[in-house]
A and B are shown apart, each in its own frame.
Chain A
Amino acid sequence: EVQLVESGGGLVQPGGSLRLSCAASGFSFRDHYMDWIRQAPGKGLEWVGHIRNKARSYSTELAASVKGRFTLSRDDSKNSLYLQMNGLRTEDTAVYYCARLAMGTNWGLDLWGQGTTVTVSS
């Protein structure tokens, strides 16, 4: 089955760290660029970051709101995507989704995980 499954969410105190994982299956993960998107409670979608494939040197882009605090990485041998979150703030509380960039599109995210919830609170 073609799917993405996020894990690693939870409750963390402000200033703390968390590492989210996204396990891919059913498709050639190594070929695709991957994104993280988040959604705060009752709010809209917010792009977090983007990691390209090996052909593009696994280069990354990050939203200004998380730059310097969050890091994207991937392990193609494990079909997995990661989001390392440091210096967490209350405003980082959200459901975090990983998503696959469809081949042949500029930025069409055609496969999404079910999301994992991150709550930053004291």
Chain B
Amino acid sequence: QSLLTQPPSASGTPGQKVTMSCSGTTSNIGSNPVSWYQQLPGTAPKLLIHSNNQRPSGVPDRFSGSKSGTSASLAISGLQSEDEADYYCAAWDDSLNGLFGEGTKLTVL
């Protein structure tokens, strides 16, 4: 099963802005919206962004998403210690499969 490509790790200091990427193909990110999920240690994933850049209610506006072509990005501004987590991008594929990225582990230094 093919995956969306994410860097394995990212880091930043409190207050900084961090951006993480997600790369796919024309059959997934290139033709379908991207979602982003946050998974804190030992917990279920939480939807952060859907439809490329839409935040569900309750998600702080420090989190933002964007998409261009076959790539997408998640940005976190005003980094906080509680943002330390794994972040996954996701997109539906035209082959009628759901795809997740490999995940990026964010460390707040």
Binding site for B on A (CB under 8 A): 35, 37, 44-47, 50, 61, 63-65, 97, 102, 105-110, 112-115
A87 and B99 alpha carbons, distance in the complex (Å): 23
Q: Which of A35, A63, A106, A107 contacts B1 (CB 8 A)?
A: A63
* Interchain pairs with CB closer than 8 A, number: 80
| B35→A46 contact, CB < 8 A | no
Binding site for A on B (CB under 8 A): 1, 3, 32-33, 35, 37, 39, 44-47, 50-51, 54, 56, 86, 88, 90-92, 96-103
Contacts of B1 in A (CB 8 A): 46-47, 63-65
Contacts of A35 in B (CB 8 A): 98
| A108→B102 contact, CB < 8 A | no
Tell me the smallest distance from the CB of A56 to a CB of chain B, in Å. Answer: 13
